[in-house]
Structure 1
Amino acid sequence: MHTHHRVIASCLAACSIGAAAQTSSYPDQPIQLVIPFSAGGDADGAARALALVAQKTLGQPLVPVNRAGASGGIGSIAVRNAKPDGYTLLVARVGSQAVLPALQPTAGYKWNDFTFLGLLELNPYVCVTRADSTIRSLKDLADALRARPGKLNYSTSGPATILNFGPQLLFDTLKLGKDAAVQIAYKGGGEAALAVLAGDVDFSCGNLSSMMGNIKGGKLRAIVTTTPERVKDLPDVPTAREAGYPQLEAIVGWSALYGPPGMSKELVERWAGMLAGAAKDAQWIAATEKAGSIPRVLSPSDTEKFAADQFAVYERLGRQLQIELK
């Protein structure tokens, strides 16, 4: 009997030594970084910026792989179902990791079905009017909504997108109800911005990347950004907090790094350390800012809290607006 216990103890010791050795030699092969959207978007930019610096720290390449489809669900499920050995990771996005699980019960995964490794960046979200509009600030917009409830209109790329959730959170904050202005849906963020240019709608809120050219060209006026600090390229545009509406900071684009559920503490610490290093790396900062994003690295625990807050915002707004994706 004692011999039997000794054999089990030896096996357990050998297993733990093997696991530790595996972690200490990690990574000994390339790491697949799944991007759950097609090439060219914010998620793609975040992956490629991270891949630039990861090899310097890890000694192995981080290989971006686009697995698009189902609003980010296909790539997300692939990582959720992967081995937790650190060789398959996910570029998590606001749409696929907060909006989709909040609004689509059949998405196939929950917001917290992953190992949180760190937040990477924020993608500025702005509200714009036409350059010649009498609405020149967030205060002007709030005053106009109060004075003419249901008369103004705004462009979105669909009811379940952050182009709609930003204005809806503003209406909610102003206690004006979901019909404070009329939503007009277009096929994408680019078309939604063009609708403001054409004078077809009074305002629009969305990712800065789809509007920056026309803002810089003087055709659109940015009246607010939801980022915690002013955007470097738009130094004269106040933040939502400065304008008196800090609640709007909840609506912002973001990228984070997730792994499959069950990754070891050692692997999580390895990636947390690597991301902390990236946050000080001039090359990563430059690549992130060049893509129009704001570097914002958070620890694994702070990333989980951030993701929980984001999920709660979209779950509440989805319930309020009665939006459920089939």
Structure 2
Amino acid sequence: MTRLNRRGFLKTGAAASAMALAAPGIARAAGYPERNIKVIIPTREGGGADRNFRAFSSVWSQKLGTEFEPGFFPGASGRVGYEVYMGKEEPDAYSLIFGNMGPEVLNWAMQAPESFSVEDYFYFGRVDVDPGCLFVGAESPLQTMDDIIAEGKKRVLNVGTSRMAHPASIGLLALGDETGAQFNLIPLSGGKNTVAGAVTGEVDFSVLTSGSVIAAGDAVKTLLVFGENRVGEALDNAPSMNDAYGTNLPEMLSSRAFAIHKKAADDHPDRFEVLARTFRETFDDPALLEAYVATGGTPEYLSYGGVEECAAFMQAMLELGARYKPLLTGA
């Protein structure tokens, strides 16, 4: 059995918080935090974001000296949670939102929020990077990418996805553009249904976040990754789309991250410095890897990202969402 090595799994990121770097003389916020910090989670309790949040916050809370109080607001592919956070929570650095940057930012590309601007909040703490992938059921007649592309040029292939506005959906549409294969995306409402659709033959194949595909084991076979294959055999040594087809697509990730009101960071830079610094310090604690793996996380996907990394990814999702919006109607 391979021994887990924390240093091998954690990617530190090239830049610390841009705001913290811009104000190196800021002292620790006097008395902050003086009470618990609320965290809005725009998906259901017990889901992947919840498990990820609990693992990370169990260690981060020790660095901050306070507890995190989650509130779950599923609905409209995450839009409800953001509306609650931006509309009802005070911008005082005592409330955060913990979201999945990939699909939730794509929401704004499909339809801009009505009560706030996407510039009114920003992500500052990325926890993980989980690339999307293309996979078939183990008994599928389509066993290679050559099979899929050849068949997709003969007829329109039905492809399962957990929700239309998803990074893996974008990856598939880009694949169609590159190869000329024809795909019809079918939202199957969640990862379990998306895996089941491919396994039972309800759809020709599916695209999904790879962590969920790894959990499906031998029932599925991964053929392509919309990003770096960090886990090798766990995804059947499938190549990245960029390597296989010579494309230059950004990684199509499910990437969970903490975000904050821009006004909170502007009005309370000392508090934000504490949040950004202790978030970064959490990645240096061996307890984080243990907690992440214990909740079912793939250790290779645990990956620090600060303000700059999060902003770059958010911009890429907005641009790609705008490009493929006509094909993602109904998201």
Q: TM-score range by the shorter chain?
A: 0.7 to 0.9
CA contact (8 A) 2:228 2:251 kept: no
What letter corresponds to residue 191 of structure 2 in structure 1?
Answer: G
Q: Which 4+ runs in 1 deviate beyond 6 A?
A: none
Which residue does the alignment assign to 2:224?
224
Q: Which of 24, 29, 33 is the equivalent residue of 1:27?
A: 33
1:267 aligns with 2:274: no
Q: Please give the alpha-carbon distance, in whole angstroms, between the structure 2 residues aligned to 1:311 and 1:23.
A: 34
Q: Which of 119, 122, 145 is the equivalent residue of 2:126?
A: 119
Q: Which of 139, 160, 178 is the equivalent residue of 1:173?
A: 178
Which residue does the alignment assign to 2:157?
152
Q: Which of 36, 44, 48 is the equivalent residue of 2:50?
A: 44
**Normalising by the residue count of structure 2, what TM-score does the alignment of the two structures yield?**
0.78
1:247 to partner: Cα distance: 4.2
Which residue does the alignment assign to 1:16?
none
1:234 aligns with 2:239: no
Percent identity between the two aligned chains: 22
Q: Which of 168, 186, 189 is the equivalent residue of 2:188?
A: 186
What letter corresponds to residue 155 of structure 2 in structure 1?
Answer: G
1:53 aligns with 2:41: no
Higher relative contact order (CA 8 A, sep 6+): 2
Q: Which moved more, 1:85-94 or 1:134-143?
A: 134-143
1:227 to partner: Cα distance: 3.9
CA contact (8 A) 2:124 2:276 kept: yes
Q: Please give the alpha-carbon distance, in whole angstroms, between the structure 1 residues aligned to 2:121 and 2:317.
A: 15
Q: Which moved more, 1:60-69 or 1:158-167?
A: 158-167
| Higher Rg of the two aligned structures | 1
Closer, same or farther in 2 for the Cα pair 1:154/1:96, shift >3 Å?
Answer: closer
Gaps of 5+ in 1: 1-19
What letter corresponds to residue 75 of structure 2 in structure 1?
Answer: G
Q: Please give the alpha-carbon distance, in whole angstroms, between the structure 2 residues aligned to 1:190 and 1:317.
A: 25
Closer, same or farther in 2 for the Cα pair 1:94/1:117, shift >3 Å?
Answer: closer
- Once the two structures are superposed, residues 257-291 of structure 1 have per-residue CA deviations (whole angstroms, 9 ceiling, x without a partner) of 10112213333332222222122222222333443
Q: Please give the alpha-carbon distance, in whole angstroms, between the structure 2 residues aligned to 1:248 and 1:134.
A: 28
- Once the two structures are superposed, residues 39-59 of structure 1 have per-residue CA deviations (whole angstroms, 9 ceiling, x without a partner) of 122221221122111121111
1:106 to partner: Cα distance: 4.7
Q: Within 5 A, what are the aligned runs for 1:1-326?
A: 23-81=29-87, 82-94=89-101, 97-145=104-152, 148-162=153-167, 164-174=169-179, 176=180, 180-214=182-216, 216=217, 218-231=218-231, 234=234, 236-240=236-240, 241-244=242-245, 247-262=248-263, 263=265, 264-289=268-293, 290-293=295-298, 294-318=301-325, 320-321=326-327, 323=329
**Normalising by the residue count of structure 1, what TM-score does the alignment of the two structures yield?**
0.79
Closer, same or farther in 2 for the Cα pair 1:127/1:37, shift >3 Å?
Answer: same
CA contact (8 A) 1:97 1:111 kept: no
Question: What RMSD over aligned residues (CA atoms) do the two structures have, in Å?
Answer: 2.8
